[in-house]
Chains A and B, each alone.
Chain A
Amino acid sequence: MSISMPEPDAAVLARRDEIAAALRRLAPGARVIDHADELRPYECDGLTAYRQPPMLVVLPETTAEVSRILAWCHAEGVKVVPRGAGTSLSGGALPLADAVLLSLARFNRILAIDEEDRLAVVQPGVTNLAVTQAVAHHGLYYAPDPSSQIACSIGGNVAENSGGVHCLKYGLTTNNVLGLELVLMDGEIIRLGGLLLESAGLDLLGLMVGSEGLLGIVTEVTVRLLRTPETARAMLIGFAGVEAAGACVAAIISHGIVPAGMEMMDRLAIHAAEAFVGAGYPLDVEALLIVELDGPEAECSHLIGEVERIASAHGAAELRVSADEAQRQLFWAGRKAAFPAVGRISPDYYCMDGTIPRRRLPEVLARISSLSAQYGLAVANVFHAGDGNLHPLILYDASAAGELDKAESFGADILRLCVEMGGVLTGEHGVGVEKRDLMPEMFSETDLDQQRRVKHAFDPSGLLNPGKVFPILHRCAEQGRVHVHRGSLPFPDLPRF
């Protein structure tokens, strides 16, 4: 693994048994794991290239337990890494050798469903899909739908501001969360937002969403539910070239249409997905669009007509509209299984997540394919076309000497390309450890310092999920010895994490 993490603290490692005993004492209802064999399943998240067994794992059950654990760790200078379901693709939940991994897996209850106000209060360990399943009989659903939704937790979704194929129309996690309860590193319990649309004061709720477990541990989430649309239909539109597909996407949006979802796959991704799930995708096209339209029947049929017209004008080679719900699900099944499908055609794959302005798509795909030739590694492209979020999947073989390093360099080049095109390093998977050292591609040291100061406002000790998001600086060796002299200096020195 080519990433450097903060140096483990030998003094903390030496106290491992004492820390385990303290955790058991502080949270008698919690499970504490300290046996090496049982720690192993926690050694990585969805970014499996990086592995590190944690010092200890604790699985508390109540907010009070989380608070006591954090307060004690804070007082004792012990680092804590939060973990939801461990599906992060950026290493956000990667353990540290000298840190307690705090798993929210036992926070798995749905606390309240309010059908009339269309909201649900859930614990962070509840899976994304479980929320929708619990409210479906009311004709409601939770809109953000990451492809990992059967496994990933709502707490993880909040930490990563996760999206899904429907976020084009219905927004990301941040647009669908109304309230949070969280515990700060010093054990203080804070509530943000709630049952109303706007809270007094700064929007700390908005700041918490997407903060990758660096600001506090989320122990309760209030989400907004939407009414299940009366009709939803998906269209498969195949093109002989990615340029035409890209132009078609732009034209749909220019016509004032915001589809519920608009996804693109390239040839390799289409073939892999079709071989895996048999969704009926056309195999003789270079690019496939899946466009979903939803709403009242009148709206759906009107817009399907419009999109058909636009697609034909852009030379669509293939055009199919789902005839029923089963077929709609089938159209999506291939796309939603695209990652594992690619996993079947290559020993390993590395999933990237940059976003670009939509108009740059053909150019970016051309550059990716020339990089692919240069590195000698194939790429399958899956793309949230509606909002410019690319998921190039780099195919490699970790058992072949040097291939992981090559895949990582290739991935970094793709992300630099996204930034060069006016885009960003990550659209929905987070910075974590993976893109941490690329942050200077997008942000100056001053920009990053401003973010570090926000981290410091929540976690002055820097003990919560250290080594993530911010590039590790030389000064981090001084951690714990750098203090801000509040107000006493015009430009206080910066804490480093």
Chain B
Amino acid sequence: METVTPPTEEALAECVRAAGARGAKLEIRGGGSKAAVGAERDTTILDMRGFRGIVDYDPAELVLTVRAGTPLAEIEAVLAEQRQMLAFEPFDHGPILGAGAGEATIGGIVAAGVSGPRRISAGAARDHLLGFSAVSGRGERFVAGGRVVKNVTGFDLAKLMAGSWGRLAALIQLSLKVLPAPARTIVQAIPASDPEQAARIMASVLGSAAAVAAVAYRPGKDGRVFVRIEGFAPSVEARCSLLGTLFDPIEAASGGEEGGWPEPGQLPPDRPLWRIPIPARRLPRLAGRLDRLGAPWLADWGGGLVWACHEDGAAIRAAAAEAGGHAMLLRAPPALRAVVPAFHPLPAGNAALEARVVHAFDPLGTFGGRRFGGRDAH
């Protein structure tokens, strides 16, 4: 597999234009932590790590401008020094996708729309991307959005870039909203023996005045709903005691360790991994189907996101759709990835509209290789 690492914006644009003119394909890549997603392919890699470093960060503005190839870990360290954070809680997919830890870049995080447990209270990657510069599939450098939180000048193309998985444009620079890190965090667990009960507990926790940051569920005999409360110390204490009047919670571990917060890394590492957003109240229905299929699973986002392991793509997609959601295949052996597309199919009208939007950025399909169902050249 060939790799090109353009050192400058001009070189990047030229590289994309040249590929277009030849009818060749390029695959945009940051640290490669999610390279195992999608069909196997032999596409030339456009390595974005030539664009690295923090461009502008004034903590009092709550805005960070950074080059897209900057490692997430580096950004988190800089923010932590100022007691700030990316509130959408991005995380590194490397360890669960067999690529190792520490490679994920901010460009890849945003392009894959990676948001963690705090998504239900603080929003997703899409809610924190204020503006960007990029090179489109036409080989043209363009900007959209800005470096301020409040901005409606022109279409909100940042929303399109977040979660586009490199199908529209190569991100060069991003402006992200940052927020103060919580002064205090407490995680508590509430026993819940079945998904029905867990869903009820999660809904009432989210509907309560406890104003929780995150809620997740690990099913099983010792099933537990996990609740994270964050903020200023007096407030966290008050909200924890409120929670105590509603349930009978116990203090729990906050990390992904054994018995701690439910995370996809705790599912069997040798089985295909699915990411399934659903309407939270449909969790019991989906859980029933998954249990019957023998698919181990866990839930985050108050039940609105399910991580599951299973080999039968059709069965998982049918179960997800029946629950009003959709399933993305994140990890699988190459043979499975060759026949099961990573993305859940869209309704025909939405698919046609999406194809026109992709065309608006990448008319020649330069970024549309085999990975997500396109056809590689030659």
Contact = CB atoms under 8 A, between A and B. Distances in A.
User: A and B from one assembly?
Assistant: yes
Interface of A: 116-118, 160-161, 163, 167, 171-172, 174-175, 184, 188-192, 194-207, 209-211, 227, 229-230, 250-251, 253-258, 295-299, 301-303, 355-359, 384, 387-389, 422-431, 435, 439, 442-444, 446-451, 453-458, 469, 484, 486-487, 490-492
Interface string B111-142: 00100000110011011000000001010111
B330 interface: no
Interface stretch (B33-41, B97-105, B237-245): B237-245
Contacts of A389: 150
Given A203-B160, A357-B148, A444-B142, A486 B363 contact: yes
A387 B154 CA distance: 19
B151 A256 contact: no
A118 B208 CA distance: 11
**Which of B142, B151, B278, B326 has the most CB atoms of chain A within a 10 A radius of its CB?**
B151
Contact of A256 (B140, B181, B304, B357): B181
Contact of A195 (B124, B206, B279, B343): B279
Contacts of B167: 202
B209 to A, nearest CB: 5
Contact of B152 (A197, A199, A428): A428
Contact of A206 (B147, B160, B206, B280): B160
A455 B160 CA distance: 13
B32 interface: no
Contacts of A206: 126, 156, 158-160, 162
Given A174-B156, A200-B326, A188 B349 contact: yes
A21 B99 CA distance: 65
Contacts of B358: 202
B324 A253 contact: no
A457 B356 contact: yes
Contacts of A205: 159
A218 to B, nearest CB: 15
Contacts of A184: 353
Interface in B269-289: 277-281
Given A198-B277, A295-B211, A492 B157 contact: no
B152 A429 contact: yes
Contacts, number: 257
Given A206-B160, A253-B62, A359-B60, A199 B326 contact: yes
Nearest to A254: B60
Interface residues of B, number: 91
A197 B359 contact: no
Interface in B336-363: 343-347, 349-351, 353-354, 356-361, 363
B279 A425 contact: no
Contact of A490 (B146, B238, B301, B364): B364
A358 B60 contact: yes
B155 A200 contact: no
B149 A388 contact: yes
Contacts of B279: 117, 194-196
B296 interface: no
Contacts of B183: 256
B203 interface: yes
Contact of A203 (B63, B126, B325, B346): B126
B130 to A, nearest CB: 10
Given A197-B120, A451-B157, A491-B138, A427 B152 contact: yes
Given A203-B160, A423-B146, A116 B281 contact: yes
A439 B207 contact: no
**Which of B237, B239, B279 has the most CB atoms of chain A within a 10 A radius of its CB?**
B279
Interface in B226-259: 231-232, 234-235, 237-239, 242
**Which of A163, A206, A301 has the most CB atoms of chain B within a 10 A radius of its CB?**
A206
A299 B234 contact: yes
A412 to B, nearest CB: 14
Nearest to A114: B281
B160 A160 contact: no
Contacts of A446: 140-142
A256 B181 CA distance: 7
B235 A298 contact: yes
Contact of A451 (B155, B242, B343): B155
Nearest to A456: B360
B164 interface: yes
Nearest to A431: B153
18 contacts: A161-B152, A198-B113, A198-B163, A199-B277, A203-B160, A203-B162, A207-B357, A209-B156, A255-B180, A298-B235, A299-B231, A355-B150, A355-B151, A431-B152, A449-B142, A450-B157, A455-B155, A490-B21
Contacts of B280: 117, 196
Contacts of B364: 487, 490
A427 B163 contact: no
A101 B146 CA distance: 32
Q: Nearest 8 pairs between A and B by C-beta?
A: A206-B159, A299-B235, A256-B180, A298-B238, A195-B279, A427-B150, A453-B360, A457-B356
B240 to A, nearest CB: 11
A230 B146 contact: no
A319 B205 CA distance: 36
B142 A425 contact: no
Given A116-B207, A427-B152, A204 B354 contact: yes
A211 B155 contact: yes
A191 B211 CA distance: 31
Given A161-B156, A188-B349, 5 more contacts: A172-B150, A207-B156, A256-B183, A425-B153, A451-B155
